[in-house]
Structure 1
């Protein structure tokens, strides 16, 4: 199954009420003025906050991640995949900082609808250009990878619930490599609990850097030098 891009994002309108200073839609998702794009062409655009039970990336961790990505210059014109997207904050931040195309994959219907709504706002922004593409896909990350047959990605964010085992993360990484989803020079950013075991990258790939921010460990995974530039 080819997973492409679409300019039309289906998002059913919901009734809105105010609860303790936050807007709440009837599907259980919440809005918060504290969640927004940090920097770039879409700086300040509001994001929908996580519903109860989700674990969004903290601003401290997000700023640290993007400080590195900006320094490495990997986001310009990049094709970005955001798995277990949650609020979509990582992928949308990457688009703001130079990304060209984005696929956000999230299994929860309310959050997928929230991402779609944010992407619709971006497409109405003056900084949006006609050659940019972004889509929210409802589905499990594992299934998306298993069925993928499109073009390779340059930057991949993987932020699974901490309940997802290290072995499952390793299997997902291996399936991505096996499905040729990754450009030879691609960068994978994997978030895990700092108390989880360190994942073993697929053959031909390495953890080039590991950083810990509170309870979160961030792994930067790249292909080995001998693999980079190969077809």
Structure 2
């Protein structure tokens, strides 16, 4: 069962896309991640971009915890439909779902936000290679607000993502088979 951990929609259940094409972030990982992000002031009132959104669990967690604007980007039709259903069921303000490939979205005018994105969450399928991920990070870099936070979730066997420019601070936390890199830009 996947559910929102805390905030306005805390405890509410989320649907997951059918099949095995997505890998929802575990509740334990989301709880630890968002506790750290909230402590750093990276969520409340922020503009959040959730790339490879799947069911929308990460972005919807941010919305539940007070993010002002959240865009969920997902290429898989079934996953985008699930994210859209989850967003509608929770009724959180400022959430939008975009059914499009991440690379295409980042190159579109819809990705440009006045003032930039404050928090970017990337939880790509493990099949996404390091080169592809590096390209996505490079495409997202010019869209970031000053002092933005970028979070990348990968397999613990994956190397650290290749950042397009050296971030100010990078932290890696391991949760079993999952590693989460948090970079302040």
For the criterion TM > 0.5, the same-fold answer is: yes
| Shift, 1:79, TM fit | 0.6
Q: Deviations over 1:145-198 (max 9, x none)?
A: 122333311111100011111121111111111xx3110111011011111122
- Is there any run of 5+ residues in structure 2 with no aligned partner, and where? none
Answering whether residue 104 of structure 2 is matched by residue 140 of structure 1, we say: no
Answering whether residue 117 of structure 2 is matched by residue 150 of structure 1, we say: no
Q: Where do residues 32-111 of structure 1 align in structure 2 (5 Å cutoff)?
A: 34-53=1-20, 54-111=22-79
2:2–2:26: 8 Å Cα contact kept in structure 1? no
- Is there any run of 5+ residues in structure 1 with no aligned partner, and where? 1-33, 224-231
1:79–1:153: 8 Å Cα contact kept in structure 2? yes
- How large is the Cα RMSD of the aligned pairs? 1.4
Answering whether residue 162 of structure 2 is matched by residue 194 of structure 1, we say: no
| Shift, 1:206, TM fit | 4.5
2:153–2:179: 8 Å Cα contact kept in structure 1? yes
2:137–2:164: 8 Å Cα contact kept in structure 1? yes
What is the rounded CA distance, in whole Å, between the counterparts of 2:3 and 2:173 in structure 1? 23
Answering whether residue 130 of structure 2 is matched by residue 166 of structure 1, we say: yes
What is the rounded CA distance, in whole Å, between the counterparts of 1:158 and 1:194 in structure 2? 15
1:50–1:56: 8 Å Cα contact kept in structure 2? no
1:167–1:199: 8 Å Cα contact kept in structure 2? no
2:50–2:58: 8 Å Cα contact kept in structure 1? yes
What is the rounded CA distance, in whole Å, between the counterparts of 2:112 and 2:148 in structure 1? 17
Q: Identify the structure with the greater helix proportion.
A: 2
SS in 1 for 2:45: coil
Q: Deviations over 1:20-50 (max 9, x none)?
A: xxxxxxxxxxxxxx22111111112221123
User: In terms of Rg, which structure is larger?
Assistant: 1
What is the rounded CA distance, in whole Å, between the counterparts of 2:162 and 2:169 in structure 1? 8
Deviating beyond 6 angstroms after TM superposition, the runs of 4 or more aligned structure 1 residues are: none
Aligned to 2:143: 181
Alignment TM-score, normalising by the size of structure 2 = 0.92
Answering whether residue 185 of structure 2 is matched by residue 218 of structure 1, we say: no
